[in-house]
Amino acid sequence: MKNIKLYSLLCLVTILLTASAFKNGGHAEYKENKKQTGFAVIELFTSEGCSSCPAADAVLAKIQQEKKDQQVYILAYHVDYWNRLGWKDAFSKHAYSERQYKYTGWIKGASVYTPQVVVNGKTEFVGSQEGTLRNAITASLKEQHNTRLLLNGLKVDKSGVTVNYEAENAGIKDVLLFALVQKNARTVVKSGENEGRTLPHVQIVRELQQVTADKASGSITLPLPTGFNTGGYEVIGLVQNSANGGIEAASKVAFATNGTMAVIKR
């Protein structure tokens, strides 16, 4: 009988402690911390000259809206190797094509094509495969990471967009990447495979710069694209292992606005 009473008492104490944890936010705190450890960096290699690419752009636009409050970072690189085939993509840069080619060395079996998606620098697939992308995002958000990247002090003037950064636990093989990203755009394509179509785009990388991770903190200035406005852009930062391509941390910062957009012309 004493054992039964002791067991009942222990059960009651356990229930009260559990209830107290929920009341004081213990469970919510655990969920929040777990959420903070994982992230998904989605890099799309695309082109306005590619008839298969608009479907991938549409998938990214959907993910952008659904995951805007989660640690999901989308970067769309417009490559330049389609430009000779009938339509020059105004957002394209050769540096973005070079970045895509780097992934063929980092990811076993990877090749260069559009639309191609790379998630966290580790896995690649056709950018319009929505189910595959969603599964990759879910898995990435559960991963554990020790490296952290903090962005702050965002400001803009005629010299460009300047952001302060602080990296924690970055390795000697890591590099820091900073992208000035245009959130939305539309283009009327007048020739090439997409002739006559109006193409919507999201998360367009307009500028990309890299620095070594030998300094834990510093600042970087990104040039302003034509027609820049603070309401339509954000800065995304990455910590990437230069040996294997794996992305170890990510962060972003947007411009604080009060309902107006400051337009700065070059």
What is the SS3 string spanning 98-145? HHHHHHHHHCCCCCCCCCEEEECCCEEEECCCHHHHHHHHHHHHCCCC
Measured distance CA(225)–CA(264) in Å, rounded: 9
In this structure, the strands spanning 148-157 and 123-126 are unpaired
- Each residue of 34-46: b (16+ CB within 10 Å) or e? eeeebbbbbbbbb
Q: Residue 62 in 3-state DSSP?
A: helix
Q: What is the mean pLDDT of the chain?
A: 86
Helix 130-141 × helix 53-66 angle, to 10°: 40
Contact 140, 38 (CB under 8 A): yes
Q: Tell me the pLDDT tens digit for each residue of 5-51.
A: 444 444 443 434 333 333 333 322 223 333 446 999 999 999 999 99
Picking from 27-31, 61-65, 96-100, 249-253, which range would have the lowest pLDDT averaged per residue?
27-31
pLDDT of residue 257: 60
Which residue reads 């999201």 in tokens?
202
Pairing of strands 123-126, 217-222: unpaired
pLDDT computed for residue 237 by the predictor: 98
Q: What's the CA gap between 121 and 246, in Å, rounded?
A: 5
* Span 95-129, pLDDT tens digits: 999 999 999 999 999 999 999 999 999 999 999 99
Mean pLDDT of 176-188: 97
Residue 261 has what pLDDT?
Answer: 36
What DSSP letter does each residue of 185-240 carry, written as one string? EEEE--SSTTTTPEEEEEEEEEEEEEEETTSSEEEEEEPPPTT-BGGGEEEEEEEE
Asked whether residue 250 carries a pLDDT value surpassing 70, the answer given is yes
Strand 40-46, strand 72-78: pairing: parallel
**Could you say which DSSP state residue 253 is in?**
E
Domains plus CATH for the chain? 38-254 (3.40.30.10)
